[in-house]
Amino acid sequence: MRLRNVKNKEEILSNCPFLIRNGEEYLGKWKDLFDNNNPIYIEIGMGKGDFIIENAKNYPNINFIGIEKYDSVIARACEKVPEGLNNLFLVRMDALDIDKTFKKEIDLIYLNFSDPWPKKRHSDRRLTSHIFLEKYDHIFKNKKEIIQKTDNKNLFEYSIVSLSTYGYTIDDITFDLHNRDENIIMTEYEKKFTSKGNNIYYLVATKE
């Protein structure tokens, strides 16, 4: 991902009331932060926030958390969140710290257009590698559910194998999401790729 520096990003982040800089402080306490017992859905690598913000607006009875590691990117997301949206927080963190930030609290994970890490020696960095699937075991509340969207066929095929080997069931799958479904909430990348006619690969995987 090409990152453009946002000159006033520190000012934006400092004035962002729904930004959490140290998520580890809320380990086991996220429901207290939201002040309710609604399900919690997280998006790992939310980019500029289009997907997670639109979901929070459309589903007020679900709590959403967008995770992003880059300040310039999360600053752009902060600028988009409307006032009064009380079921969304943004967390500045690296995905490797996911199990230090949540503990048996999460109901669903979105993995949208994650870095494919195409080189074989980097495969453990993929968000559907066994390294991350083990971390997810510690953060899911009960039933585990992962929804993935990507334009990268190799990553998608890798994810199918990795998830299945780890005990997940693939409940839904398509190699051309936008040809099958309408009224899809899209990420920034998704809008770009679909405008070029690229296929979007999609799956829902669950594990009891």
pLDDT tens digits for the chain (208 residues)? 445 666 788 888 988 999 999 999 999 999 999 999 999 999 999 999 999 999 999 999 999 999 999 998 999 999 999 989 999 999 999 999 999 999 999 999 999 999 999 999 999 999 999 999 999 999 999 999 999 999 999 999 999 999 999 999 999 999 999 999 989 999 999 999 999 999 999 999 999 9
Of the residues 71, 97, 99, 115, only one is catalytic, namely 115
Inter-residue contact 137 to 166 (CB < 8 Å): no
Inter-residue contact 3 to 73 (CB < 8 Å): yes
- d(CA 131, CA 125) in angstroms, rounded, equals 8
- d(CA 187, CA 178) in angstroms, rounded, equals 13
Q: With the C-alpha atoms ordered 50, 190, 98, 108, is the resulting torsion angle positive or negative?
A: positive
Q: Which CATH number, 3.40.50.150, 3.30.43.10, 3.30.559.10, 3.40.30.10, labels domain 1-106? A: 3.40.50.150
The verdict on whether 115 is a catalytic residue reads: yes
**Domain coordinates of the chain in residue numbers?**
1-106
- d(CA 154, CA 161) in angstroms, rounded, equals 11
